[in-house]
Structures are given as C-alpha cells and as structure tokens.
Amino acid sequence: MKLLNGKELSNTIKQELTLEVQEMTKRGERVPHLAAVLVGDNPASESYVRSKVRSCQQVGFESTLIRRHADITEEELLEIIADLNSNRDIDGFIVQLPLPKHIDENNVTLAIDPKKDVDGFHPVNFGKMAQGLPAFLPATPFGIVTMLDRYGIETSGKECVVVGRSNIVGTPMSILLSRKAKVGNCTVTLTHSRTKDLRAHCLKADIIIAAIGIPNFITGDMIKEGAVVVDVGINRVDDTSKKRGYRLVGDVDFDQAAERAGYLTPVPGGVGPMTVVSLLMNTLRANREALYE
C-alpha cells in the first residue's frame, strides 16, 4: 500500500505558492487576501479556520479573521458578507460551516459574490463546475483531484464509488470524477444512506471516496484489492489516553484498509491539508482575476 501523503504534498504546493507571492511582490502587485468568518465556538470549526489563517501566513497571503458570537442574527451576518463583497482589498472569503441553527446557510451562501466565493459553494460556481466551465471548485474535492493528479493516479475508465452525497464533498466529487478531464472520465456511483448493499458497490470500486462522517465506516471487507481509498472523514472520538481527550479518525478503518488498498490517505495528514491548500489556490486565482477587472 502506498500512502497518499496530503501533508507532504500540501507543503510542496505551499512552497510553489510562496514563490508566486514573492514574484507578485517584486512586480509591486497586491498579494492575495483571504477573509474567514467564524460564527460561534464549534471546536472543529475553530481548528479548521485557525489552520486556514496559519496557512495564509505561511505562503505570504494576507488574511483577516472575523469572529462573531453564536447569537449574531442572520441580517447582521448578511451585512458582514455585503461588506466583504464590496471590499476591494479582499480577494475571497469563506463563511465557516456549520452555522447556528437560527441562520439559514442557503441564504448565506447565496449572498456571497460568486467572484469571491473561494469555497465554491455558490450555485453559480457549482453550476459552472457541473458544466465544465471555469469556476472555483469546492476546496475538498479540488484537493482530492489535485492529489490524484500529482500522484499520477489514472482515473479514466475507472469505477469510482463516492460514499456520501453532501453539497460540500460527495455530490461535487461525483461530478468532478465523471467529467471529461485529465482527472475524470470515471464511471461514478454516488452512494448514500438509502443505498442498498453498499458493500457490493464498494467491492467493485477502483476508487473509493469516503465522505459520510461516520468513524471507521468503510471496513477492509468493502475494499477491492489494490483500490485507491480516499478518506475525507475527520471524526473526533473520545480517547482518555490523549491530553486533549480525543483522537481524529477517518471514515475508513485505516488498519484494515491498509491490508487491501493500493493507495490510501491517512487521517490526519491526508485530505485535510489538501483542502486548506486548495482554498489558497482558489484565493490566488480570485486575486489574479481581480487584476483584470
């Protein structure tokens, strides 16, 4: 089994981005600027946003973190978004999900200017992606596609099973892998909670993308010998032996999968760092496109 080392690959891409920022600075251009809006104190969201801001600093991007209490109203949040939309210093921004229950995430996503939607969640970007037009791709699927590309994994004609149909990962992943593109041309099966005999589907897969949010859901007996297994899950499970009281496990039983898979992503250090670096790549792109407006 070969490990798909997202940590290492994301560091390589960060070095490339750093060089690009240095070139921009030499030319006297404004460096990319990402803003992140974090509402409430969900510990996982805090950790993701911290990692996004830290990564901006590592490559020389500007970053702005906007924090608000969980009791912010939807109107107040929409005002913040309107300000970010019109702020010419900011190339792209994200509103970290999930949001508190009283805020409608669809309204928030729709309020973001598609030109600054570096998460690729706005229906304009989602629709363009589905039609194969240039668009901001959602960060996690973009990161996975980049990883498959850089590891030279052939996808054309392969059977791919995506487990989980979320708007953020499963559904866009299924679209990207079935597109006519260098990483694409798969025959994709999108599976979900109502799928019958998931094991039989998975056993046929050359590529499994596990994005269901259930710890160790994909077991060794669901994996075809030599398959590429991409684990999107980042689940916290209680572990009193750890100082912080939990450990992170994926949606795939790593030890079992390691016995069967040809390629496998670890958790942590697999898809997670690729997601963050994809957000940086989208922000660079937003900055470049703003140059020509």
Residues at the site binding ligand GUN, with contacts judged by CB under 6 A: 94-97, 119, 139-140, 168, 275
Is 182 one of the annotated active-site residues of the chain? no
Residue number of the CB atom closest to ligand GUN? 97
- Residue 140 or 216: the one with the smaller Cβ distance to ligand GUN is 140
**Residue 101 to residues 38, 117, 150, Cα–Cα distance (Å):** 14, 22, 39
- Residue 64 or 185: the one with the smaller Cβ distance to ligand GUN is 64
- Residue 213 or 220: the one with the smaller Cβ distance to ligand GUN is 213
- Smallest separation, CB 259 to ligand GUN (Å): 30
Q: How far is Cα 240 from Cα 278, in angstroms, rounded to an integer? A: 33
Is 58 one of the annotated active-site residues of the chain? no
Contacts within 8 Å (CB) and 24+ apart, 174-177:
175/129, 175/130, 176/129, 176/137, 176/141, 176/145, 177/145, 177/207, 177/209
- Smallest separation, CB 163 to ligand GUN (Å): 17
Partners of 92 in beta bridges: 34
Catalytic entry in 14, 96, 116, 231: 96
First vs last C-alpha separation in the chain: 47
* Sheet of 92-95, strand order: 62-68, 33-39, 92-95
- Residue 55 or 275: the one with the smaller Cβ distance to ligand GUN is 275
- Residue 49 or 252: the one with the smaller Cβ distance to ligand GUN is 49
Q: How far is Cα 248 from Cα 268, in angstroms, rounded to an integer? A: 7
How crowded is the C-beta side of 119, counted as CA atoms within 13 Å? 21
Question: Which segments of 27-150 does DSSP mark as H helices, in order?
Answer: 43-59, 74-86, 105-111, 123-130, 139-150
- Smallest separation, CB 56 to ligand GUN (Å): 15
Q: How far is Cα 86 from Cα 144, in angstroms, rounded to an integer? A: 31
- Residue 97 or 290: the one with the smaller Cβ distance to ligand GUN is 97
Is 96 one of the annotated active-site residues of the chain? yes
Catalytic entry in 119, 206, 231, 251: 119
- Smallest separation, CB 103 to ligand GUN (Å): 13
- Smallest separation, CB 14 to ligand GUN (Å): 18
**Residue 45 to residues 2, 36, 49, 86, 95, Cα–Cα distance (Å):** 30, 11, 6, 25, 10
- Smallest separation, CB 94 to ligand GUN (Å): 4
Question: What amino acid positions are annotated as catalytic residues?
Answer: 52, 96, 119
